[in-house]
Amino acid sequence: MKQKRLQETIDFLKSKGITNPETGIVLGTGLGKLVDEISIEQEIAYKDIPNFPVATVEFHSGKLIYGELSGKKVIVMAGRFHLYEGYNPWEVTYGIRTMHGLGIKNLLISNAAGAINLDYKKGDLMLLEDHINLQGSSPLAFKGANNFGNIFADMLEPYSKEINNKLSLIATENKILLHKGIYASVLGPQLETRAEYRMLQILEVDAVGMSTVPEVIVAKQLNLPCAAISVLTDECDPKNLQPVDISEIIAIAGKAEPKMITLFKKVIEIL
């Protein structure tokens, strides 16, 4: 049933002229301006795509965009799905399976995250080198998951070293500070307690968020090379914890976004 519904989605999008995108992109909270750089050929609201989940978070616009960026065909999820919205892991990763079915060869993911590493500051960018899944679930743990690939996906290298090396080089060339680190994915939507931040520090986590990891696990099952960048929107120091203002997080994401756009645009050119 899942395969049939997914194929219906893919066939519908192909019928709309979405063919042979090379790179898929997932845009995180407050990170939608990359869309302005795309020469758009198709823009379809999630609600108009058969079997597609609908984004509920107010900072996510909820549409699939197809067009040209840096001379390459791209497909962009402007708005992602989170477990904390009540979606199941299959729904959260449905867009990744859809983009793979349309033919993408690489996946770029962005997210807004909190800095656990106290050397990293709000407004900085972090390239994910590894992750810890603290969401209590897996997008490969369902009946029939082996129809989509190996359910025992090897997570030795969840993030493509090749794409990460390219992004690091581009960051250096463009004088963009790009930290590298470990991302922990939690369920949310509540933020962490002081004790939880201390736990994450003990686990040697550099940043924490509520997304990305399920999408990366599915990319591994599909043998889809991927890279992910966190925009660090707050500093999670358990000894000096301040109340979090979501509007401030969105504002910081917006300020840091041009750096992320530069990295994504330039890496797409050479992928």
Q: 209 is in which domain, residue-wise?
A: 2-270
Helices 94-101, 213-221: crossing angle, 10 deg rounding: 40
- Look up residue 36 and give its DSSP letter: G
Strand partners, 111: 230
Number of domains in the chain: 1
CA distance 32 to 77: 9
- Residues 190 and 84: their CA atoms lie apart, in Å, by 9
Closest alpha carbon to 215 in 94, 93, 97: 93
Are 93 and 220 in contact, with CB atoms under 8 Å apart? no
Model pLDDT for residues 12-35, shown as the tens digit of each residue: 999 999 999 999 999 987 788 899
HEC secondary structure over 109-157: EEEEEEECCCCCCCCCEEEEEEEEEECCCCCCCCCCHHHHCCCCCCCCC
pLDDT digits (tens, 9 = 90+) for 95-107: 999 999 999 999 9
Cβ proximity of 54 and 62 under 8 Å: yes
Q: Using an 8 Å Cβ cutoff, are 226 and 159 in contact?
A: yes
Angle at 264 between CA 261 and CA 266, to 5 degrees: 105
Domain CATH for 43? 3.40.50.1580
Q: What is the pLDDT of residues 194-226, one digit of tens each?
A: 999 999 999 999 999 999 999 999 999 999 999
pLDDT in tens, 37-95: 999 999 999 999 999 987 665 555 689 999 999 999 999 999 899 999 899 999 999 99
Amino acid at 117: N
How far, in Å, CA of 266 to CA of 271, rounded? 9
